[in-house]
Structure 1
Amino acid sequence: MPQSKTSSSGSDNPGPSGSDEAATAFDDAPLNRFHLRITALTFCANYSDGYELGIISIALPLIAAQLGFGSVWEGLLGAAALIGIFLGSVVVGWGADRIGRQRLYTYNFLLISVASAAEFFVTGPTQLFVLRLLIGIGIGADYALGPTLVAEFVPRRYRGGLLASLTVMWTVGYVVAFFLGNWVVGLGGEAWRWLLASSSIPALAVVLLRLGVPESPRWLVARGHLEQARAVVRRLGGDEDAVASLARMARAAADRPRARYRDLFGPEYWRRTAFGVIFYNAQVVPYFAIYTFLPLVLAKIGVGEEDTTSDGILNLFLLGGSVAGLWFVAKMTRRGLTIWSFVVLIAALAPMAVWPDAPKALLFPLFLVFTFTMSAAVNLDQVYPAELFPTDLRSSGVGLLNGMSRIGSAIGTFLLPLSLDHIGFSPTMLALTLVLAVGLAASVAWAPETKNVALD
């Protein structure tokens, strides 16, 4: 089990479960088709999140003009899914540690499918807000469940890369939304209705594809269901060494008291919880605020709506950074990647805050560096949380960190257009730079090294 003692370097001492001595044949099993399947099925939430954010940012101006609402409703609609993600992550994450992961993981996308289809029929901003909130709840539930299941099934050698690949799908979803969304809204009229409803069909397909996904053997062992865990491992093609290693996991689980939700804030885990909340928020608050209202930000640095070449380059950097982040996750330590990414992000964003009237030839390349680095760094958002907590608390911890990050993102998304209108571009960018600085300080102080640890 991870320990909370902190070394002078700022990283937690992982204790026995961070060492090879704690690893079992289950931790070091060969990668097989099921490991890839569970990862692929978890891509869906990240793709949907990126897609939902992308389409609403593109469709909002057209929706506002047709339904007749102003900047307050624009902010609320931009933040609605983020608020829902908070609720879904925290509540479902807590529930999954108590009743299991499998059933919730199978059916949460049904909510997304129904709510997405219903967006086609909205007649006012209140209806759209409620539906976006429900979509967010479904996505948030999967944010708590998906990375937890991947971390608990996948061998530790491959865990970081497969978890990081989830974030790549967020970027893919966002980029697809950008190109498809601009084409659809360009058709005029009420084409935005088809755009908003377009995510309902793939969401329903996810529900069908997830039928038959088994319960997590680690969760079964932690709850005392050893024989069921053995049956799952055998069904998935695990060898007898992997099956036998479950007994060792069961003995370890029996020797310690079962963790409770409040233990996330207790003496053993509070540093990990605090680090996770701060690091996650410090990344996604600037990310969601800037990219939800990307046309407004680009206009401030001299990139007009008609400049499709710059838009295309920016999206290529967004996608390229996400793919490059897989390499960084594989080659760098978790702690090192976290700290150095914050350093580069601050260096790229700060000049925009202190010299907002600089030439586009300076500001746009800096924004490309910011985009590439942020897109690479957020790969850690799916990796770190699942590695911070033991099985008894993993879904709760992952859900809490995801949920709290979305509350911060929702606040940032709501405030960004108001901030640009009332205090201007420079103070707004300075505030976002300070958010990144807080993330850097928390990472230096508390970031643990969890790469290749054996989960309990």
Structure 2
Amino acid sequence: MSAATTTEPKPGFLRRLTLACAWGEGVDGYDLGVVSVTLPFIATALGAGPVEAGLIGASSLIGIFVGGPLAGFLTDRYGRRLMFSVDLLLFVVLGALQGVVTEPWQLFVVRVLLGMTIGAEYAIGAAMLAEFAPAKGRGRRLSGLLVSWYVGYLLAVVVSYVLLDAVGLSWRWVLVTSAVPALVTMLLRRGLPESPRWLISRGRADEAERIVDSRLGAGYFAREDFGAEGEEQGGLKALLRRGNRRRLAFICVFWGCNVAPYFAIFTFAPTVLESLRLANPAAGTITLNAVAALGALVGMLTIERVGRRVQLIPTFWVMAAALTAIGLWGGAPGLVVVALFAVFSFCNALQANLTAVYPIEMLPTEVRSTGVGIAAACSRVAAAVGTFLLPVGITTLGTGACMLIAAGVCVAGAVVSHVMAPETTGRGLHETSRAPLVPAAG
């Protein structure tokens, strides 16, 4: 490969790529946030019972179960660039279709398909960004994707309440608003190149170096050790090799334990808060989502300083303690309930940044998107089960018992993470994806 090129880097390429990936995550958060607010209106308008409401609430998560692995496989096989735009186009079309459904099952089908596009985004966006980003600050860039997710979710909650209560807009049009940020994201992604690390894995190293030199400058290719990537065969067999298999198992467990309590509680946040006799569930829901966005921001700003393990393990224990207190203190004042949920929200979001970091750093290029897609699918199975069962659980077991079950999930995540989580801070992407899966010393 020649290093003679002197082509100057295009200014702001990494900023544009980061923004294009972050907006994709924001679209996903926005879509799920809109449903959390509109679901009671949908259930009333379409005559959906508790089971149907649970299925609609969990529909996107079910779609991710299919879309994540499928898009990951296609992305590893055919490249990041194609799927990077196709999934947004599908999202726009499906988002608009939500406005014309007339039956609960129709909305369920549309939102399952929307979930498939969201699963595709999880498998593509973070991999695309990481495979260009420098090792220094890579965690902060990837964490920024989750900040965008929480900002998107918070924005959706605020916009939904304003459009429903203040403007009096139909829930149909509120759902359709998710197509707007998707259109913006499509424009941001026009003209972006293929991932150089993926090109190298396909034996196209010269093409990869030309892309890196033209977009990021001569010398970046060597400085970030792109040459350490090899021409490797991907596919499910490669992903399930012993080392990769252990990494994938850890990613699935910690990711599932992070999102299951979050989606179960926040998809039905107004219902949960109302069942706890909170005077203003809407204000409580907005407050908790604002705290979550703040937690994600703090996590992004601190991840390179405190390291991955410190950001992962203690937060599981704090979340478990907060949910246990809510579950056991049945007569707690509303302010105390919101404060405990705020602690949970803050820690959950701070920790959730690692769902955009660990899966990318721990899997090699040739199976990265496939593995991330499968991990996203597994995590959403846990989230979908929790989301589906929560309204039934509140009716049969009570809110307190549901919070104790959620606390138990956090304890499981803490134990598994303590035993398996490696420290990858400051290490090159090629190194982190092939290092043995062992916890840091001490």
Q: How much does 1:107 deviate?
A: 1.6
SS in 2 for 1:154: coil
TM-score normalized with structure 1 length: 0.88
Asked if 1 retains the 8 angstrom alpha-carbon contact of 2:137 and 2:304, the reply is no
Structure 1 match to 2:220 = 242
Q: How much does 1:45 deviate?
A: 2.6
SS in 1 for 2:137: helix
> Quick one: distance in 2 between partners of 1:202 and 1:366?
32
Q: How much does 1:391 deviate?
A: 0.8
- Comparing 275-284 and 428-437, the one that deviates more: 428-437
Structure 1 match to 2:415 = 441
Matched residue pairs, number? 423
Structure 2 match to 1:409 = 383
Structure 2 match to 1:41 = 20
> Aligned ranges for residues 4-19 of structure 1 at < 5 Å?
none
Structure 2 match to 1:26 = none
Structure 2 unaligned blocks of 5 or more: 1-8, 431-442
The answer as to 2:247 corresponding to 1:269 is no
Structure 1 unaligned blocks of 5 or more: 1-29
- Comparing 312-321 and 422-431, the one that deviates more: 312-321
Asked if 1 retains the 8 angstrom alpha-carbon contact of 2:261 and 2:406, the reply is yes
User: Residue deviations 1:20-71, cap 9 Å, x none?
Assistant: xxxxxxxxxx996111111111112321221111111211111221221211
> Aligned ranges for residues 303-382 of structure 1 at < 5 Å?
303-304=278-279, 306=280, 309-382=283-356
> Quick one: distance in 2 between partners of 1:307 and 1:267?
48
Q: How much does 1:251 deviate?
A: 6.6
Structure 1 32/438 Cα, relative in aligned 2: closer, same or farther at 3 Å? farther
Higher relative contact order (CA 8 A, sep 6+): 1
Asked if 2 retains the 8 angstrom alpha-carbon contact of 1:106 and 1:213, the reply is no
AA aligned to 1:286 is P
Q: How much does 1:80 deviate?
A: 0.8
> Quick one: distance in 2 between partners of 1:122 and 1:283?
32
- Comparing 278-287 and 230-239, the one that deviates more: 230-239
> Quick one: distance in 2 between partners of 1:146 and 1:406?
17
The answer as to 2:206 corresponding to 1:227 is yes
Q: How much does 1:432 deviate?
A: 0.7
SS in 2 for 1:236: helix
> Quick one: distance in 2 between partners of 1:329 and 1:114?
36
Structure 1 236/363 Cα, relative in aligned 2: closer, same or farther at 3 Å? same
Q: Name which of 222, 230, 248 aligns with 1:253.
A: 230
> Aligned ranges for residues 105-254 of structure 1 at < 5 Å?
105-186=84-165, 191-239=170-218, 241-243=219-221, 249-250=226-227, 253-254=230-231
Superposed structure 1 runs of 4+ greater than 6 Å apart: none
TM-score normalized with structure 2 length: 0.90
Asked if 1 retains the 8 angstrom alpha-carbon contact of 2:76 and 2:367, the reply is yes
> Quick one: distance in 2 between partners of 1:391 and 1:76?
35
User: Residue deviations 1:269-298, cap 9 Å, x none?
Assistant: 222111100000000000000000001221
Structure 1 300/436 Cα, relative in aligned 2: closer, same or farther at 3 Å? same
- CA-based RMSD: 2.1
Asked if 1 retains the 8 angstrom alpha-carbon contact of 2:221 and 2:227, the reply is no
> Quick one: distance in 2 between partners of 1:69 and 1:308?
22
Structure 1 376/243 Cα, relative in aligned 2: closer, same or farther at 3 Å? closer
AA aligned to 2:39 is L
